[in-house]
Structure 1
Amino acid sequence: MENKEYNIDKMSIEEVTEKINELYKKSKEECGLTEEEKDLQQKLRKRYIDNVKRNFKAQLDSIKKK
């Protein structure tokens, strides 16, 4: 992986998902991930899960009782 700085907060959720998948595939290869890549993978996963939680909460908050 090239030495590239990622601003995770500014990435779209599609970009986050794509990078998570890329790192997952690399982790299954013989060379695996560097410590820097493992750290990035964890941060990306956290960003993804936080997004899912936020969207789920917004859906629940929009439900009205009849």
Structure 2
Amino acid sequence: MLSNDKIARINFLSKKSKSEGLTGEEQKEQKKLREEYLRTFRSSMKNTLKSVTVVDPEGNDVTPQKLKDEKNKRLH
């Protein structure tokens, strides 16, 4: 999870870029923060998906095998 300070900085830089533009250093900082945010988001989403079970209308487990394999890796 990204700290509140970093999220606030991302938002500040975004607003500033729209209103007055960013310096070269600020552009680099924005890019670095965005990459960190995306890495964190993707990791969180992968962990969430590992806990999902897909069930069809008849109650059968139809979770894709790849997801089942990931769950088993996590448990062992």
Structure 1 and Structure 2 fold alike (TM over 0.5):
yes
The yes-or-no answer on 1:28 pairing with 2:18 is yes
| Per-residue deviation, 1:50 | 0.8
| Per-residue deviation, 1:39 | 0.3
Residue type of the alignment partner of 2:34: R
Equivalent of 1:49 in 28, 31, 38 = 38
Q: CA RMSD in A?
A: 1.6
**Comparing both chains, which one has the higher relative contact order based on Cα–Cα distances under 8 Å and sequence gaps of 6 or more?**
1
Q: Deviations over 1:22-63 (max 9, x none)?
A: 001111223x11100000000100111111100000011122
Q: How many residues align?
A: 54
Question: In percent, how many aligned pairs have the same letter?
Answer: 41
In structure 2, C-alpha distance between the alignment counterparts of 1:26 and 1:59, rounded to whole Å: 33
In structure 1, C-alpha distance between the alignment counterparts of 2:46 and 2:40, rounded to whole Å: 10
